[in-house]
Chain A
Amino acid sequence: MPHDHHDHDDHPHSHLPSDPALRVRALETLLTDKGLVDPAALDEIIDIYQNKIGPQNGARVVAKAWSDPAFKASLLSDADKVLREMDLYGRQGEHMVVVENTAQTHNMVVCTLCSCYPWPVLGIPPGWYKSDAYRARAVREPRKVLADFGVTLAEDKAVRVWDSTAEVRYLVFPERPEGTEGMDEEALAALVTRDSMIGTGLPKGAA
């Protein structure tokens, strides 16, 4: 390639277009040409994360745990085992910890260093989860961040913030809303929002 000499100077981006969309295309071409990336794999990955893996997976887990005390106990004590059995295990979710919201404690998840997130149960993180504002503020003023989401908790309820790592990913197990006693798992799953499993929201119907 004619521009390879640039790779040895201190301006490593100078050989790629500054426009990000063009840079992605250029990198794709370069990596494909060198056999480092299989182009067929790209479309499949995009399809999986745009259409198949998302918070509906986690909602299914939460609804089942709301309905089945033994399942809930297993989930809270060994999430990896339970999620593996449900085929909700894999990349960016190899070591999962489920943290339970109670009347006394509200849990909230952040990744201050990066954007670590439990992909198999929640999919790709939303933009705000990856934002500097969330990463910086969630650990310093979680109640103010919750207010950005329109969530106000009782003052005597403790807020516990979990900082994710490359290895350990957290899923919040929200409180089951009152008045949902007769609902089946499918109806319950529809109440479980993505943000309620990150801890920046509450399930639909929750006070």
Chain B
Amino acid sequence: MTRPHDMGGRFGDGPVQPEPQGIAQSGAEWHPRALALTLAAGAHGKWNIDTSRHAREALAPKDYAKFSYYEKWMAGLGFYRRRALFGVARTPGGHRGHG
């Protein structure tokens, strides 16, 4: 089934907005914190690139479309927190985890 993250080739999007060269600048003050928190959470080996991708891709389609980039990251990390605390794999959309 096509999920909202699988957007390659999709129609209807507007122009791409270029940015200055060099190290990419943060869009908001909390973005670097969100990034760092997501990376630091990997220290225990239970949260990695695959679990984080799964958590974000399992967001409800309306949330995936609505959330900004790092909001998706934070929603994914919320999934990790709940799983880490309860040992239950519930996806952000509220469903049992599956691909």
Q: Which residues of A approach B to under 8 Å, CB–CB?
A: 4, 7, 9-13, 16, 20-21, 23-25, 27-28, 30-31, 34, 36-38, 41-43, 45-46, 49-51, 53-56, 91-92, 110, 112-115, 123-128, 130-140, 145, 148-150, 163, 166, 193-195, 200-201
Taking CB atoms, residues of chain A closer than 8 Å to B13 are: 132-133, 136-137
State whether B37 touches A55 (Cβ < 8 A). Answer: no
* A177 → B minimal CB distance (Å): 15
State whether A54 touches B82 (Cβ < 8 A). Answer: no
State whether A123 touches B23 (Cβ < 8 A). Answer: yes
Determine which of B15, B40, B57 lies in contact with A37 in the assembled complex, contact meaning CB atoms within 8 Å.
B40
State whether A45 touches B79 (Cβ < 8 A). Answer: no
* A53 → B minimal CB distance (Å): 8
* B58 → A minimal CB distance (Å): 11
Taking CB atoms, residues of chain A closer than 8 Å to B86 are: 7
State whether B16 touches A149 (Cβ < 8 A). Answer: yes
State whether A38 touches B43 (Cβ < 8 A). Answer: yes
State whether B85 touches A20 (Cβ < 8 A). Answer: no
State whether B36 touches A41 (Cβ < 8 A). Answer: yes
B1 interface contact, C-beta 8 A: no
Q: Across chains A and B, which 5 residue pairs bring their CB atoms closest together, nearest first?
A: A112-B8, A54-B23, A10-B94, A136-B10, A45-B36
B5's nearest neighbour on chain A, judged by CB, is A113
**Apart from the given pairs A25-B33, A136-B7, 19 other A-B contacts in the complex at a CB distance below 8 Å:** A12-B78, A24-B30, A24-B33, A27-B37, A36-B41, A41-B36, A41-B43, A49-B36, A55-B21, A56-B23, A126-B24, A127-B17, A127-B27, A128-B16, A128-B17, A131-B16, A132-B7, A132-B13, A195-B21
B92's nearest neighbour on chain A, judged by CB, is A12
State whether B22 touches A30 (Cβ < 8 A). Answer: no
Task: Please name 13 pairs of A and B residues whose Cβ atoms are closer than 8 Å in the assembled complex, sorted by A.
Answer: A24-B34, A27-B74, A27-B77, A31-B37, A36-B41, A42-B40, A46-B35, A49-B36, A128-B17, A132-B7, A135-B7, A194-B21, A200-B18
Taking CB atoms, residues of chain B closer than 8 Å to A46 are: 32-33, 35-36
Bound CA span A42–B25, Å: 18
A124 and B44 in contact, given A31-B81, A113-B6, A135-B7 (Cβ under 8 angstroms): no
